[in-house]
Amino acid sequence: MAPHGEELAEKLKNLIVRLQKDGKGSRKIGDQLKISLNTVAAVMRRYRTSHSTTNQSHSGHPPKMTPRTVCYLYNLALKNRQASASKLAQGLSMEIGVLTALTVQRTLHNINHYEWHPENLACSLNWEHILFLTMKHGGGSVGEMTFIDGTMNACGYTRILADKLTPSLQDLGRRGIFQHDNYPKHTAKTTQALLNKKKSENYDLVKYVA
């Protein structure tokens, strides 16, 4: 186990993230790598917040990229095609607070990778045709619900998608968009395989950029 206060090696932190994406629980990861549960949790918190295991030089948490923020960034990039990531980050920071050029680069990369077209990202987008994955603890308006017994893992999440995703998207219409965040069980290999299968069925599946 690493001495208290000592920063973990980058290779070890990346291994923690990979094991979580493969569906392994934090306690099992800690036992396998001989590190504490708190250390595993800290690495995953940092990864979910910044999409990186590297310590950030600035203080505070970076802002989350909501769908509307992504829309704003995409339109800003279209209007300023020659602008660098730093310039785009500076322009967006005026709207949502401090934002790094690296976050801008990753967000735009995800937009291109998942084929988010201007018609899908237009700020006039019909939000009634977007399916958001949401965990509810009671109250509020929701769609079809699935009750979870115990701790959710990648396999359980995939089973829910297999049973519920197609009917829910059909309710939205053929051009419905499915969005979820980059939580490890959402990015696990089994989950990605299912989403790729659904995409091949001509559904417009778009990963939510957290």
Distance CA 28, CA 44 (A): 14
- Tokens at residue 67, please? 């769908």
Q: Is the pLDDT of residue 115 over 70?
A: no
Sign of the Cα pseudo-torsion (195, 196, 197, 200, in order): positive
Distance CA 134, CA 142 (A): 8
Q: Is the pLDDT of residue 145 over 70?
A: no
Can you tell me the mean pLDDT for 174-203? 70
Q: CATH says 1-59 is which class?
A: mainly alpha
Residues with Cβ within 8 Å of residue 68, at least 6 apart in sequence: 123
User: In terms of pLDDT, which residue wins out, 124 or 110?
Assistant: 110
Q: Is the pLDDT of residue 202 over 60?
A: no
User: In terms of pLDDT, which residue wins out, 33 or 1?
Assistant: 33
User: In terms of pLDDT, which residue wins out, 62 or 170?
Assistant: 170
Average pLDDT over the chain reads: 68
3-state secondary structure of 33: helix
The model's pTM: 0.32
Name the pLDDT band for 19 (thresholds 50, 70, 90).
Answer: very high
Distance CA 169, CA 121 (A): 18
Can you tell me the mean pLDDT for 6-22? 83
Can you tell me the mean pLDDT for 16-29? 90
What is the predicted pLDDT for the residue at 187?
Answer: 78
Distance CA 157, CA 66 (A): 22
In this prediction, what percent of the chain has a pLDDT beyond 90?
A: 3
User: In terms of pLDDT, which residue wins out, 141 or 56?
Assistant: 56
- Tokens at residue 142, please? 């929701």
Q: Which of 5-19, 51-65, 98-112, 181-195 has the lowest mean pLDDT?
A: 51-65
Pair 121, 71: CB distance under 8 Å? yes
Distance CA 121, CA 116 (A): 7
One-letter amino acid for residue 184 of the chain? P
